[in-house]
């Protein structure tokens, strides 16, 4: 009996010790960062899909972020305070992303500014970000979380706006009649273009939408959907997917012999060299899509030149991630500097950063221009691009995309 | 069981024989554990509370699945979709109609239970792999309907935002507050499941699992009890879904995927089929391991500097999978069996024979 009690006591004490050691001091969810004197670092909390379906696009994110921080910290960071990265892999799983957000929220210092790439995660966190006093920049704007304007900002135009821009271009430059079909991913991101605003805009432009088809993000063949689209007489197909998805669409079209008969386009994330051109190869030749991104071939742009040098030194790859990361953190540094100038370190909070963000007007991020307002938390700048000889070539200069936000928020 | 009890512990009445807790020590441990658990918000971080809340919700779904799989011998590969039904019932009632928590919870449970019975109907004629394929269909049918049938009502692909639960004027809008909503409900659900398997219904489930033909010959209404098992399993999923909706405050179809259903089954296997304690162990083990892997992943590049950081970080899920495979090789009967072995050896100590 005595030995049993000793065993039990040891086990009980061990369990208590384990829980106490795991537990941090009680914290209340902070809505504002108060009494922050100059911190030792600005910690940037990043949730990334390194091992899931978005991994191809996120490739290089950690290396490029660390490189960006090296560059910015060498220039004094934010008012002498260096940037520091803390990240978590989500594997593309929404629940893991939410868990990562909850983890970041309880860290010291708590996050003020984050970058959330996946649309479903943005959708799930839209109200929590407001409650927790955190602003998030996203690389994909879906109207359902961008409107009404909350704490999320997109440095790309929303998917309906981009689709609207494509419609403007196709009507202005291509033979008529335009019979358009949507072939998009069955997700928050993919379905972002299936809105009444987009359908009405097509009607306004004289474009007939003949089909709306969806497919799974991991599906490797869309011949069934393309057969139906072909039967309905479509001569253009537009997809709100990533470059690897567009490669699957083009390969399926080739199998059906539809490549010459139907023309293909998609949102800005289809037009990527390291996914679309790498995976579709010669099938991507002639592919057109609207994009907010500058290209690696535009070496006359100082930012592109700088990035090429840094990639060479860091042994990185010319991916969209490397292209955008430094530009994003240059902008974030400017936001922090502006906010600190306005309210000081002590009163630095999400509201101060929001005020700075909403002042950005054709701000040159290096890889794109950025305009944000209190009413429109999404970028407006976009241009048409085409794949030629395995490279992405701009067909025109940046223009303002049509505003296809829900009518009540225009 | 009685043979393994410590010396001096014996029953002198049927009540004692039926009791879940038999000794004073067990009562002390239970009360001590409950005090420790319920005071957790006083000394723990919000993230730990989020993990506990998350584990408890998963646990409710896993316990329900274990009643169906472990006790009744049926299969369901759509548990996550039934959680989705619970979550969406809550979302629709709370978002569109403003119904309070005490109303949405039973409605979610009931709705998931009823739809579960419909998908359980094939179980009378088919079993094993064929039944698993039929229930797999439920995962796709339910989520496709949620996304497409009436996007105005369900929010389509974007989903719905859910207001914080309220009981009277008290709003459960933080992790510590949600903890006091979720943990007591989890305890009640576990107590309910523990009891259900000790009743005539539970014995009927076990009889069907062991040999449904023999059970039928003995007078067990196999059709009724199979559907009842589906109903109970999905009531648990509905409760879990309701709590999930309130914890997340925003639901969309990507939160209830086939992969989630597979993991819920995995937790049943790892914990041990036919054991409520096993469900607890399985859920904590899988969620804990997942958390551990996510925590150590950022440190992997420093351990293997020869490889590129991005590639090494991708090893996280590999480590998770390898640990699970090794575990299943060495303990195929689940953690519950290991727990029984430990208890038996403890009770026989110092006589290990």
For the segment B236-249, the average pLDDT, to the nearest whole number, is 95
pLDDT tens for each residue of A153-166 = 999 999 999 999 99
pLDDT one-digit tens code per residue, B154-175: 988 888 989 999 888 889 988 9
Instruction: Give the angle subtended at the CA of A193 by the CAs of A242 and A394, to the nearest 5°.
Output: 55
Kindly state the average pLDDT of the residues B63-85: 94
Q: Contacts of residue A8 in chain B, CB cutoff 8 Å?
A: 25, 29
How much is the mean pLDDT over chain B? Answer: 89
Residues of B in contact with A12 (CB under 8 A): 29, 32
Span B251-261, mean pLDDT? 90
Candidate from A20, A95, A127 with C-beta closest to B249: A127
> How far away is chain B from the Cα of A59, in angstroms, using its nearest Cα?
7
A62:B175 CB<8 A: no
User: How confident is the model over A267-296, as a mean pLDDT?
Assistant: 92
* Residue of chain A nearest B251, judged by CA positions: A124
Greater confidence (A365 vs A59) lies with A365
CB hemisphere CA count around A354 (13 angstroms): 18
pLDDT band at residue A31 under the 50/70/90 scheme: very low
Mean pLDDT for B223-250 is 95
Partners of residue A191 in chain B, C-beta under 8 Å:
156-158
CB A143 within 8 A of CB A406: yes
Say which CATH topology domain A38-154+294-367 has: Rossmann fold (3.40.50)
Reported confidence tier of residue A10, pLDDT bands at 50, 70, 90: low
Q: When comparing pLDDT for A28 and A81, which is higher?
A: A81
pLDDT tens-digit readout, A289-303: 999 999 888 999 999
Residue-wise pLDDT for B276-319, tens only, equals 999 999 999 999 988 888 888 777 777 777 766 666 666 777 87
The residue of A1, A16, A18, A26 whose CB has the most chain B CBs within 10 angstroms, and thus the best one to mutate to test that interface, is A26
Cβ–Cβ below 8 Å for B161 and A127: yes
Show the 3-state SS of chain A. CHHHHHHHHHHHHHHHHHHHHHCCCCCCCCCCCCCCCCCCCEEEEEEECCCCCCHHHHCCHHHHHHHHHHHHHHCCCECCECEEEEEEECCCCHHHHHHHHHHHHCCCCCCCEEECCCHHHHHHHHHHHHHHCCEEEECCCCHHHHCCCCCEEECCCCHHHHHHHHHHHHHHHCCCCCEEEEEEECCCCHHHHCCHHHHHHHHHHCCEEEEEEEECCCCCCCHHHHHHHHHCCCCEEEECCCHHHHHHHHHHHHHCCCCCCCEEEECHHHCCHHHHHHHHHHHHCCCEEEECCCCCCCCCCHHHHHHHHHHHHHCCCCCHHHHHHHHHHHHHHHHHHHHHHHHCCCCCCHHHHHHHHCCCCCEECCCCEECCCCCCCECCEEEEEEEECCEEEECCCCEECCCCCCHHHC
Give me the pLDDT at residue A1, please.
47
Distance (Å) from the alpha carbon of B45 to chain A's nearest alpha carbon: 5
| B298 closest CB neighbour out of A22, A87, A124 | A87
Interchain contact, A23 vs B310, CB within 8 Å: no
Please give the pLDDT value at position A95: 86
Q: Which of A55, A127, A187 sits opposite B250 (nearest CB)?
A: A127
Q: Express as a percent the part of chain A with pLDDT over 90.
A: 65
Contact flag A145-B158 (C-beta cutoff 8 Å): yes
ipTM over 0.85: no
Average pLDDT, chain A: 88
Residue B6 confidence (pLDDT): 67
Residue A52's closest chain B neighbor by CA? Answer: B314
Element spanning B41, H or E:
helix B40-43
Q: Percentage of residues in chain B with pLDDT exceeding 70? A: 95
- Residue ranges of domains in chain A: 38-154+294-367, 163-290+384-409
Q: Which residues of A touch B290 (CB under 8 A)?
A: 96
Per-residue pLDDT, averaged over A240-261, amounts to 94
Q: Is 80 exceeded by the pLDDT of residue A51?
A: no
The pLDDT of residue A30:
45
Minimum distance, in Å, between the CA of residue B194 and any CA atom of chain A: 24
Q: What percent of chain B has pLDDT above 90?
A: 57
> What is the band of A26 on the pLDDT scale with cuts at 50, 70, 90?
very low
Q: Which of A47, A52, A86, A93 to mutate to test the interface with B (most CBs of B within 10 A)?
A: A93
B167: helix, coil or strand?
strand
Quick one: pLDDT at residue A14?
Answer: 57
Which of A99, A100, A317 is the best substitution to test chain B (most B C-beta atoms within 10 A)? A99
Tell me how close the Cα of B4 comes to any Cα of chain A, in angstroms: 15
Which of A3, A5, A23 is best to mutate for the B interface (most B CBs within 10 A)? A23
C-beta separation of B82 from B67 below 8 A: no
| Per-residue pLDDT reduced to its tens digit, B186-224 | 999 999 999 998 899 999 999 999 999 999 999 999 999
Exposed e or buried b per residue across B174-183, where buried means at least 16 C-beta atoms within 10 angstroms of its C-beta: ebbbbbebbb
* A194 → chain B, closest CA residue: B157
Report the pLDDT value the prediction gives residue A38, as an integer from 0 to 100.
Answer: 85
The CATH class of A163-290+384-409 is: alpha beta
Q: Could you read off the pLDDT of B94-134 as tens digits, one per residue?
A: 999 999 999 999 999 999 999 999 999 988 888 888 888 88
Task: Enter the pTM of the model.
Answer: 0.81
Interface contact flag, B313 A120, Cβ < 8 Å: no
Q: Cβ of B349 and A3 within 8 Å?
A: yes
User: Hey, are the CB atoms on A51 and B36 less than 8 Å from each other?
Assistant: no
Which residues on A lie below 8 Å from B298 (Cβ)?
86-88
* CB neighbour burial string for A220-237, b if at least 16 within 10 angstroms, e if fewer: eebeebbeebbeeebbbb
Residue-wise pLDDT tens digits, A282-339: 999 999 999 999 988 899 999 999 999 999 998 888 888 889 999 999 999 999 999 9
State whether B158 and A24 contact (CB < 8 Å): no
Quickly state the pLDDT bin for A15 (edges 50, 70, 90): low
Banded pLDDT at A11 (limits 50, 70, 90):
low
pLDDT at B351 > cutoff 60 = yes
Would you state the pLDDT for residue B311?
Answer: 67
Mutate to test the interface with A, among B29, B45, B151 (most CBs of A within 10 A): B45
| pLDDT band per the 50, 70, 90 thresholds, residue A137 | very high
Domains of chain B plus CATH, in order, are 52-348 (1.10.3470)
Given a cut of 70, whether residue A36 has pLDDT beyond it is no
Q: Do domains A38-154+294-367 and A163-290+384-409 have the same CATH topology?
A: yes
Residue of B nearest to A95 (CA): B255
């Amino acid at each position: 009996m005595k030995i049993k009690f000793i065993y039990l006591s040891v086990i009980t004490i061990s369990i208590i010790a384990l829980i106490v050691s795991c537990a941090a001091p009680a914290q209340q969810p902070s809505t504002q960062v108060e009494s922050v004197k100059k911190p030792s670092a600005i910690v940037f909390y990043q949730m990334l899909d390194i091992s899931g379906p978005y991994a191809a696009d996120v490739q290089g994110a950690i290396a490029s972020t660390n490189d960006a921080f090296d560059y910015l910290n060498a220039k004094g960071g934010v008012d002498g305070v260096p940037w520091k990265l803390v990240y978590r892999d989500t594997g593309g799983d929404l629940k893991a992303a939410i868990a990562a957000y909850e983890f970041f929220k309880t860290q010291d210092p708590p996050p003020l500014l984050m970058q959330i790439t996946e649309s479903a995660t943005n959708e799930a966190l839209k109200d929590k970000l407001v409650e927790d006093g955190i602003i998030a920049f996203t690389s994909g704007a879906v109207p359902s979380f961008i409107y009404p304007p909350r704490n999320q900002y997109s440095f790309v135009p929303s998917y309906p706006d981009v689709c609207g821009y494509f419609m403007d271009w196709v009507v202005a430059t291509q033979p008529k009649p335009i019979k358009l079909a949507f072939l998009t991913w069955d997700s928050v991101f993919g379905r972002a273009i299936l809105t009444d605003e987009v359908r009405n805009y097509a009607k306004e432009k004289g474009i007939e939408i003949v089909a709306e088809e969806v497919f799974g993000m991991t599906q490797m063949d869309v011949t069934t959907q393309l057969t139906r689209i072909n039967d309905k007489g479509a001569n253009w197909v537009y997809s709100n997917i990533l470059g690897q998805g567009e490669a699957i669409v083009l390969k399926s079209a080739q199998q059906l012999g539809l490549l010459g008969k139907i023309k293909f386009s998609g949102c800005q994330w289809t037009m990527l060299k390291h996914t679309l051109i790498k995976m579709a190869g010669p099938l991507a030749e002639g592919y057109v899509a609207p994009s907010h991104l500058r290209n690696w071939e535009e070496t006359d742009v100082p930012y592109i030149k700088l990035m090429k040098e840094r990639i060479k030194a860091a042994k990185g790859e010319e991916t969209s991630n490397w292209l955008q990361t430094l530009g994003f953190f240059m902008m974030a540094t400017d936001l922090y500097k502006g906010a600190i100038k306005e309210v000081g370190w002590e009163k630095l909070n999400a509201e101060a950063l929001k005020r700075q963000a909403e002042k950005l007007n054709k701000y040159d991020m290096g890889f794109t221009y950025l305009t944000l307002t209190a009413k429109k938390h999404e970028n407006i700048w976009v241009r048409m691009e085409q794949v030629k000889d395995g490279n992405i070539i701009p067909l025109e200069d940046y223009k303002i995309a049509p505003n296809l936000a829900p009518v009540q928020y225009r | 069981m009685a043979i393994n009890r410590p010396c001096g512990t014996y029953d002198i009445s049927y009540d004692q024989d039926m009791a879940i807790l038999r000794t004073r020590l067990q009562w002390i441990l239970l009360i001590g554990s409950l005090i420790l658990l319920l005071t957790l918000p006083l000394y723990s971080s919000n993230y730990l509370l989020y993990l506990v809340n998350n584990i408890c919700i998963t646990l409710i779904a896993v316990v329900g699945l274990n009643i169906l799989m472990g006790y009744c011998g049926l299969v369901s590969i759509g548990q996550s979709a039934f959680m989705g039904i619970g979550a969406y019932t809550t979302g629709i009632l709370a978002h569109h109609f403003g119904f309070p928590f005490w109303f949405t919870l039973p409605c979610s449970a009931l709705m998931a239970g009823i739809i579960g019975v419909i998908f359980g109907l094939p179980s009378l004629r088919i079993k094993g792999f064929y039944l698993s394929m039929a229930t797999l269909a439920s995962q796709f049918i339910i989520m496709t309907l949620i996304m497409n049938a009436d996007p105005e009502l369900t929010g389509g692909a974007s989903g719905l935002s859910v207001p914080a639960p309220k009981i009277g004027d008290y709003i459960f809008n933080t992790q510590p507050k949600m903890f006091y909503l979720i943990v007591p409900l989890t305890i009640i659900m576990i107590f309910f499941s523990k009891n259900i398997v000790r009743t005539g219904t539970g014995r009927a489930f076990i009889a069907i699992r062991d040999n449904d033909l023999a059970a039928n010959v003995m007078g067990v209404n196999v059709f009724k009890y199979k559907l009842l098992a589906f109903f109970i399993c999905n009531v648990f999923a509905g409760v879990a879904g309701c709590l999930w909706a309130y914890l997340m405050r925003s639901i969309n179809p990507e939160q209830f995927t086939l992969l989630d259903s597979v993991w819920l089954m995995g937790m049943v296997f790892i914990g041990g089929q036919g054991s409520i304690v096993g469900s607890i162990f399985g859920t904590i083990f899988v969620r804990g391991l997942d958390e551990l892997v996510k925590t150590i992943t950022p440190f992997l590049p420093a351990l293997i500097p020869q490889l590129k950081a991005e590639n090494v970080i991708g090893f996280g899920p590999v480590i998770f999978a390898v640990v699970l495979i090794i575990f299943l090789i060495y303990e195929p009967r689940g953690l519950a069996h290991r727990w029984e072995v430990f208890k038996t050896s403890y009770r026989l100590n110092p006589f290990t024979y």
